[in-house]
Amino acid sequence: MTKADLFDHALQKRMAAEAPLAARMRPRSLKDFVGQQEIIGPGRLLRRAIEADKLFSSILLWGPPGSGKTTLANIIANSTASYFATLSAVMGGVRELRAVIAAALERRKLHGARTILFVDEVHRWNKAQQDALLPHVERGVIVLIGATTENPYFEVIGALVSRSRVFQFRALSDDDTQRVLQEALEDTERGYGGRRIEISVASLEHLATVAGGDVRNALNALELAVESTAPNEHGVIEITLDVAQESIQRRAVLYDRDGDAHYDTISAFIKSVRGSDPDAALYWLAKMLYAGESPRFILRRLLILAGEDVGLADPMGLVVANAAAQAFEYVGLPEGVYPLVEATLYLSTAPKSNSSGSFFQAHETVEKEGRMDVPVHLKDANRDGDAFGHGEGYIYPHDTPGHHTGQQYLPTPLLGRYFYKPTDQGYEAEVQQRLERWRAAQQAALGLEETHYSPPLSEEEIMQIKKGMGHG
């Protein structure tokens, strides 16, 4: 070993010793891996493939930060006979990828050796960059391990996903996180086992709970607590609950405004309001605002819900939601949270009706059955009344008892077809009673013997109509 080699070795050793606690405590083998037992536990498919050094295909590891994706990749790197290359989608692009591919081809040609390529945050590569990777995955030049915090079915090109196995990692449980923290406190080689540290159960539980399943965050907080606390007169570092709280500060809520957590949380919020659970609605609302979600985005969704899910069961729902949106524009945060909360609670506790969805049945009828003429008596008499008789026979409802007449309003081929079916909820129950009287009077006046409701549409069919209207 040359003098330069000795210097490099010493440097590497010192850097390893000075690395952050989270890096030092990263598991080196599968037996040390904590969590994700449904994926990597004994006897599981991926574990068997890793232990046999026979990854069956490219894999995508999808999960929240600190759940073990990079750790598992490092374990594979330490255990495989294949050449292991690493790229960061943040730092590296097509040029770096081409260099890896060229080396992999040369390695395969000369030595028959496989190359495993780990791409961290693969979702950050654009389509062109991912396309550049695809043919080499298809040909088996490389086996891809991609790590992503975003749903790969949305953020990774379909062709790459279809050629990979997707494994979804979950945030670690509090018990698992506490186990990792305890190991860090006891490990004499990589952790704090060589130092006198006392940490209360409450402190340990707090670090684990507030980390929210992110082990890296928990270890960083523990390191800060230890390194910033002076030993007492007995040489003991005491980690009290106050120290733990100060070290980790507030919970880092998992919420990416462009990612899954964003869509999942707003979905939970809307479904809670629709399901008439004000307590759950307030919880999800608090989570969104805590994480920095735009109140305007939330208010827009409440406006939609007021029309779609409350509807005529309580027409004031839309009024309240609209007033809240306007009030927020005047007030802003923090006081603007009050009209937002009021709208949330009002809509959560309002009677519910989705009868406004009957519009889509009418829309489908227009699309499928094509053009139908307006009945003559409903046509505009102001322009063509004298020449063509438009408007002739029209009965002005206010001139009749009860301000209702049973005259024809639908095109003739559609007579007897009903789209709107009111519910028996709230105000709409009154609407239902009136409408039954009016429809009965119309049936008698027009001699309608048969009537029927248009069949309801599926959510998928409604979504397609919305997309066609520009509201996808």
> Going from the N-terminus, what domains does the chain have, and what CATH number goes with each?
35-168 (3.40.50.300), 174-248 (1.10.8.60), 260-349 (1.20.272.10), 357-453 (1.10.3710.10)
Q: Is residue 177 within 8 Å of 66, Cβ to Cβ?
A: no
- Please determine, for residue 9, whether its predicted confidence score (pLDDT) is greater than 50: no
CB 373 within 8 A of CB 329: no
Does 148 have pLDDT greater than 80? yes
Q: What is the pLDDT of residues 14-66, one digit of tens each?
A: 545 578 999 999 998 898 899 899 999 999 999 999 999 888 789 999 988 88
> What local confidence, expressed as pLDDT, does residue 211 receive?
84
The secondary element (H helix, E strand) that includes residue 26 is: none
pLDDT band for 415, please (50, 70, 90 cuts): very high
Confidence category of residue 331, pLDDT binned at 50, 70, 90? confident
What was the pLDDT predicted at 57? 84
Quickly state the pLDDT bin for 259 (edges 50, 70, 90): low
What's the whole-number mean pLDDT along residues 435-453? 94
Residue with the larger pLDDT of the pair 383 and 355: 355
Q: How far apart are CA 433 and CA 427, in angstroms?
A: 11
Q: Give the model confidence (pLDDT) of 177-186 as tens digits.
A: 999 999 999 9
pLDDT number for residue 390: 87
pLDDT at 155 over 80: yes
55-69, 110-124, 253-267, 320-334: which has the minimum mean pLDDT?
253-267
Mean pLDDT of 285-310: 91
What string of DSSP letters covers 387-421?
HH-TTTT---GGGSGGG------S-GGGTTEE---
Helix locations, 170-315, DSSP H: 174-186, 201-211, 215-227, 241-248, 260-274, 278-290, 295-305
Mean pLDDT of 322-341: 92
**Considering the chain, what percentage of its residues have pLDDT values greater than 90?**
57
Q: How confident is the model at residue 223, as a pLDDT? A: 94
Residue 258, pLDDT score:
60
Contacts of 306 (CB under 8 A, 6+ apart): 317, 318, 320, 321, 322, 347
Q: In this model, does residue 170 exceed pLDDT 50?
A: yes
The mean pLDDT value for 403-421 works out to 93
Categorize the per-residue pLDDT at 472 as very low, low, confident or very high, splitting at 50, 70 and 90.
Answer: very low
- Rounded CA-CA distance 172/411 in Å is 61
